[in-house]
Structure 1
Amino acid sequence: MQKIFEERINKINPEILKGLKEKKEFSFRINRHKADLKVIEELKKEGFSPNKVEWNKYVFTLPIEERKKITKSSVYTQNKIYIQNLSSIIAAISLDVNENDWVLDLAAAPGGKSLIFSEIAKKVSAVEPDKKRFFRMKRNFKEHGAKNIQTYNKDGRFVYKATGKMFDKVFLDAPCSSEAHIDGEVTWWNLKRVKRFSKLQKELLSSAFNCLKPGGEMIYATCTFSPEENEENIDFLLNKFSNAEILEINLPIDNIQEGITKWEDKEFNKEVKKAIRILPTDAYSGFFFCKIRKN
């Protein structure tokens, strides 16, 4: 499987394999429910020297060697900061949530993106099917002071049947084959896993789109590279829903690649080029996301 995995990744972008093995930094953001920018001075007093991220004043990085150390800091134990990957943060911010929005996070655990939305949105609904992950997520929200998040232990594939076209914004960070987390020997990955997740993702994507109000916007995301789990699913959505429109994403970073329109024997709708694949580097993990409007 190692050879197959590497061959597939190299077809997408040879830089990915190199990036998977280089983890120099980690990132965190200020939890605005409990703290503000003054928390950085507290961290400095505890011996840390956080680096600013240019695209958001509440997001910072530190050397990867300090990750364990910061979890023992008073700032962390008081839930004033939240450790979260830059790719996840920038994808969540790209949903452009505003103060009047009701946001659905359709596969929400552990809840980091819901927490980002809750700092701005009027209301957030967080859905998670796995019971253990669901209760950890609920605890996470409580500990971080988010009071505008509703939680549901439900299967996201069928949520639309209960809600209808209810939400202004939807975020779906879908369960996936997690290729972005492979940084050494390939053990648990295989093509059957990719195809199994691709089927599940299409069902979740359909549900997410059905939950959107007309004029609403959503983001579909994964932490994997396989086009079967990314571009193929966006192509599926465009074929299934004539009122789905892919939106441009303008990110202030360089380690990105546009969506691919051909993979092996398949050709996808040209609109999937508007999707973004974040390449792993420094504090960024590999990530794919696409922004969609319901017309």
Structure 2
Amino acid sequence: MDSDRLSALPQAFLHRMKDMLGDDFEPFLAAYEQPRTYGLRVNTAKISCEEFEQIVPFEVKKIPWVSNGYFYNEDVRPSRCALYQAGLYYLQEPSAMTPASRIPVEPGEYVLDMCAAPGGKATAVGSALKGEGLLVANDISTTRARALLRNLELFGIPNLFVSNEKPEKMVKNFPEFFHKIILDAPCSGEGMFRKEEALAKDWTPEKSEELSRIQKQLCLNAADMLQPGGQMLYSTCTFAPCEDEQIISWLLRERPELSLISMEDYEGFSTGNPEWGDGNPQLKKCVRIFPHKMQGEGHFLALLQKEGTAGPSAGTSKTSRLAADVRKYMEEFFREIGLKTLDGQEFDWNRVEVRADKVYYLPSVSYNFRGLTFIRNGLYLGDLKKNRFEPAQPLALAFRKNEAEAVISLSVDDPRLERYLKGETLTIEPEEAAHSKGWHLLCVEGYPLGFGKLVNGTLKNKYPAGWRV
């Protein structure tokens, strides 16, 4: 085998993998000759998989180990489709969908994604919360945290707090607070060598050892923020035992109140190997994903539970005092678009907060975020202008199908959608709009894309410049 991909693999990596895999080493190498797979995950808070299959304009095929995951062909550009801009799916490598699919998140829980950018796992658990409880999505890099926020806004997740903070600082704010924690740890990326050859070029054996020190500290931080009875999912996209089984072995010794629990199985999964850790037979409950056994790249995951039972949930909803004129302008706008519910729930005026003419809808859980560096608390509803309220793009995307009356819905193959996403004005026939003038939600197949203002049969485009395709 002399393919470019194989020649890019470091020799020290290959020697270690041969030791680890034995007879499986040749099939593992052969996987590098195979093309990678492409996947998307449906946002089931907005659309069911059945309805998605009916309206998606390109070929998709179910991913058998992720209930809302689909393969698509390499020649498709799903990010150009209006369904993507409506937040109906997220593009994600198929194996990378596995961790979030194996931690059982329930509406109303408090969930932390510690290293959340670009948002694959955070959008998945945020969608599972269905607007209830709290999602804290953190990334230490401000640039990455902004990209993370965009993906969460695209998914229409209202109950969020997006921070860019050091995890050790977060522990002080959130001791034993979260029901569920995802720690997709920074790792050497060996499982992604087929997908990104640059990772193979940068790889050194020393890098894994250095990263394992960081991973250990992150694991301790996560364990200390987890409620008694809570669950934590640790994952990497590497094969290195010093970043996988050895981290979990170490964590179980350092935090004996944690224990490994089994995850929903799949025939292509491989078990963790106790010999690659400290010999603890419990390590078999970890899952390894190898590219020669699955239609995806390499991953490792471990689901842990903290002993004990959770006490009553901390944090309560606070009462907001809104200036009378602010509420008046917002009510005028909501009447104009015929607001019924927002994200499946009755609009709660106590959750509205105004900061410097910007209006936010806070999570129903109010908590002590003081001292944390953050870029968003809650859903950005819009701006207060002179004597009026101007809605923001994240508000449009937080609406589910049929939650507002003033809609203009176009079919997924309507060429006007592409023009709308470029910021152009559209011609609308009288029978296509709910009202003859004023604010409308432009939708694709009934799913909101953004706002526009109808004047004499022309829809003035309110799709923000920074969102345009």
User: Could you tell me the TM-score, scaled by structure 2's length?
Assistant: 0.58
CA offset digits 1:206-247 (Å, max 9, x no partner): 111111111111110000110000011001111111211111
What corresponds to 2:368 in structure 1? none
SS at match of 1:187: helix
What corresponds to 2:100 in structure 1? 92
* Dislocated runs of 4+, deviation >6 Å: none
SS at match of 1:197: helix
Tell me which moved more, 174-183 or 77-86. Answer: 77-86
Larger Rg: 2
CA offset digits 1:72-96 (Å, max 9, x no partner): 2222233322111222222212111
Structure 1 counterpart of 2:71, from 46, 61, 64 = 61
SS at match of 1:97: coil
2:268 and 2:68 mapped to 1: Cα distance? 21
Structure 1 letter corresponding to 2:268:
N
Change (3 A) 1:57 1:172: closer
- Contact in 1 for aligned 2:66/2:97 (Cα 8 Å): no
Change (3 A) 1:249 1:4: same
What corresponds to 1:39 in structure 2? 52
Structure 2 counterpart of 1:217, from 227, 231, 234 = 231
- Contact in 2 for aligned 1:129/1:153 (Cα 8 Å): yes
Structure 2 counterpart of 1:11, from 19, 23, 41 = 19
1:131 maps to 2:150: no
Comparing both chains, which one has the higher relative contact order based on Cα–Cα distances under 8 Å and sequence gaps of 6 or more? 1
Structure 2 letter corresponding to 1:61:
F
What corresponds to 1:267 in structure 2? 278
CA offset digits 1:243-286 (Å, max 9, x no partner): 1111122322x2222112224xx734222121111112564221
2:36 and 2:13 mapped to 1: Cα distance? 24
Tell me which moved more, 92-101 or 57-66. Answer: 57-66
CA offset digits 1:54-80 (Å, max 9, x no partner): 4454221122333xx222222223332
Deviation of 1:159 (Å): 2.1
What corresponds to 1:111 in structure 2? 119
Unaligned stretches of 5+ residues in structure 1:
none
1:231 maps to 2:241: no
Deviation of 1:23 (Å): 2.9
Tell me which moved more, 266-275 or 210-219. Answer: 266-275
Structure 2 letter corresponding to 1:32:
T
What corresponds to 2:289 in structure 1? 278
- Contact in 1 for aligned 2:139/2:164 (Cα 8 Å): yes
2:88 and 2:270 mapped to 1: Cα distance? 33
SS at match of 2:40: strand
- Contact in 1 for aligned 2:274/2:283 (Cα 8 Å): yes
1:285 and 1:72 mapped to 2: Cα distance? 24
Change (3 A) 1:173 1:16: farther
- Contact in 1 for aligned 2:85/2:154 (Cα 8 Å): no
What corresponds to 2:181 in structure 1? 170
Change (3 A) 1:195 1:142: same
- Contact in 2 for aligned 1:232/1:268 (Cα 8 Å): no
2:271 and 2:74 mapped to 1: Cα distance? 28
What corresponds to 2:35 in structure 1? 23
CA offset digits 1:7-61 (Å, max 9, x no partner): 1122233243333442353111112344333233222xx3x22112344542211
Change (3 A) 1:138 1:235: same
- Contact in 2 for aligned 1:231/1:268 (Cα 8 Å): no
What corresponds to 1:208 in structure 2? 222
The count of aligned residue pairs is 287
Tell me which moved more, 21-30 or 137-146. Answer: 21-30
Deviation of 1:152 (Å): 1.0
Unaligned stretches of 5+ residues in structure 2:
1-8, 308-469
Structure 2 letter corresponding to 1:19:
A
Change (3 A) 1:187 1:54: closer
What corresponds to 2:270 in structure 1? 257
- Contact in 1 for aligned 2:116/2:139 (Cα 8 Å): yes
CA offset digits 1:87-139 (Å, max 9, x no partner): 22222121111123211111111111111111222221111101110111112
RMSD of aligned alpha carbons? 2.0
2:95 and 2:59 mapped to 1: Cα distance? 21
Deviation of 1:150 (Å): 1.1
1:192 and 1:54 mapped to 2: Cα distance? 36
- Contact in 1 for aligned 2:38/2:93 (Cα 8 Å): yes
Q: Kindly, what percent of the aligned residue pairs are identical? A: 26
1:145 maps to 2:156: yes
2:220 and 2:33 mapped to 1: Cα distance? 34
Change (3 A) 1:202 1:56: closer
Tell me which moved more, 28-37 or 108-117. Answer: 28-37
- Contact in 1 for aligned 2:126/2:157 (Cα 8 Å): yes
1:16 and 1:217 mapped to 2: Cα distance? 32
SS at match of 1:35: coil
2:272 and 2:53 mapped to 1: Cα distance? 37
What corresponds to 1:71 in structure 2? 79
